Amino acid sequence: MIWDTHAHLDDPDYAEDFQEVVARLLSSGITRVTNVGYDLASSERSVKLSQDYDFIYAAIGIHPHNAEGATDETWAKLLLLAKQPKVLAWGEIGLDYYRDLSPRSIQKEIFIQQIKLANEVGLPIVIHNRDAHQDVLEIVKAHPPKYGGVFHCYSGSLEMAAILLNLGFYLSFAGPVTYKNARHTVEVAGNVPLDRILVETDSPYLTPEPRRGKRNEPTYVREVVKKIAEIRKIPFEDLASQTMLNAATLFGIHKK
Ligand SMILES: [Zn+2]
């Protein structure tokens, strides 16, 4: 049993063969998928998917790319979505200084605002951080998420990982841990305490080896589990069940 903790199955890339993607993941032992929103519309689609499919859960939020244009109405609608029974997290939120699609000041402002909203409704947060390590760290220190959180597709250093683990965060690994140039990520994945690791695909992006470059789907989270189990020298099944338990703990699924 594996939990793909971060996917975007509402992406148009799946319009043609969604049912086949679902059939494949279910027959590959993927028993849960968290579908993650990045704007209001995708948050609504995530909630809809969680209503239509037993194995799908939702996260809702505004990605830093879409930081501009969020209004009071956006927040009001997200707060309503947050109360839906299978919404387990607020995200993905954070900072992206790599693509810089929104002004940094606005990215920071809505990141902070959404941590506050997550605290208000009792949800953990899903953090997207690209080339913004210092500012993300400052913000989560100044505005700690009360219900914890996960750094999705963790790409930082071992030093930063140590700080985040101390602050109580989980680190989630995706396809890049299988890439040939992933020396740093492999090092981190080998050192994070086993009870703080999550696995994900970020489908349709970040396809693990050996399919790198093609469309990703939750079934391939098995490659991520396989790689980290190899790094840790533990059985595949042990890592799968441990990461399942970790996700259940972070997402507070027992309470839902
Ligand atoms: Zn994502």
The sign of the torsion formed by the CA atoms of 90, 95, 98, 104 equals positive
For ligand 1, the distance from its centroid to the CA atom of residue 206, given in whole angstroms, is 10
pLDDT at 34 over 70: yes
CA angle, 185 then 196 then 35, to 5°: 85
For ligand 1, the distance from its centroid to the CA atom of residue 177, given in whole angstroms, is 16
Q: How far away, in angstroms, is 254 Cα from ligand 1 center? A: 24
Q: Is the pLDDT of residue 88 over 70?
A: yes
Q: How far is the CA of 92 from the centre of ligand 1 (A)?
A: 7
d(CA 253, CA 172): 18
Q: Which residue has the tokens 């996260």?
A: 59
For ligand 1, the distance from its centroid to the CA atom of residue 174, given in whole angstroms, is: 10
Q: How far is the CA of 193 from the centre of ligand 1 (A)?
A: 23
pLDDT at 236 over 90: yes
Helix, coil or strand: residue 89: strand
Q: What is the mean pLDDT of residues 218-246?
A: 98
* 3-state helix vs strand vs coil in the chain, percent to 5: 50, 20, 35
Q: What is the arithmetic mean of pLDDT over 32-52?
A: 98
d(CA 96, CA 98): 5
Picking from 78, 4, 93, 15, the residue whose alpha carbon sits closest to that of residue 47 is 78
Binned at pLDDT 50, 70 and 90, residue 100 comes out as confident
Percent residues over pLDDT 90 in the chain:
94
Of the pLDDT bands very low, low, confident and very high (cuts 50, 70, 90), residue 18 is very high
Q: What is the pLDDT of residue 254?
A: 61
pLDDT (0 to 100) of residue 255: 57
Question: Are β-strands 56-60 and 87-96 bridged in parallel, bridged antiparallel, or unpaired?
Answer: parallel
pLDDT (mean) for 11-32: 98
- Going from the Cα of 116 to the center of ligand 1, the distance in angstroms, rounded, reads 21
> What is the three-class DSSP state of 171?
strand
Q: What's the 203 CA to ligand 1 centre distance in angstroms?
A: 8
User: What's residue 229's pLDDT?
Assistant: 98
Centre of ligand 1 from the C-alpha of residue 36, in Å: 6
pLDDT beyond 70 at 163: yes
Spacing, Cα 6 to ligand 1 middle (Å): 6
Distance 149 CA to ligand 1 centre (A): 15
pLDDT at residue 155 is higher than 90: no
Q: How far is the CA of 191 from the centre of ligand 1 (A)?
A: 24
DSSP code, position 134: H
pLDDT on residue 69: 85
Q: For residues 18 and 22, give the distance between their C-alpha atoms in angstroms, rounded to a whole number.
A: 6
Q: Is the pLDDT of residue 256 over 60?
A: no
Phi, then psi, of 234 in degrees rounded to 5:
-130, 160
Question: What pLDDT digit, counting tens, does each position of 213-230 carry?
Answer: 999 999 999 999 999 999
Q: Characterize 93-122 residue by residue with b for buried, 16 or more Cβ atoms within 10 angstroms of its Cβ, and e for exposed.
A: bbbbbeeeebeeeebbebbebbbebbbeee
CA 200/CA 244 separation, integer angstroms: 11
Per-residue pLDDT, 48: 98
Distance from residue 231's CA to the centre of ligand 1 (Å): 24
Q: How far apart are CA 211 and CA 192, in angstroms?
A: 26
Distance (Å, whole) CA 219 – CA 125: 24
The verdict on whether omega for the bond into residue 159 sits within 30 degrees of 0, i.e. cis, is no
Residue type, 247: A
Taking the CA atoms of the chain, what radius of gyration do you get in angstroms? 17
Q: What is the pTM of this model?
A: 0.96
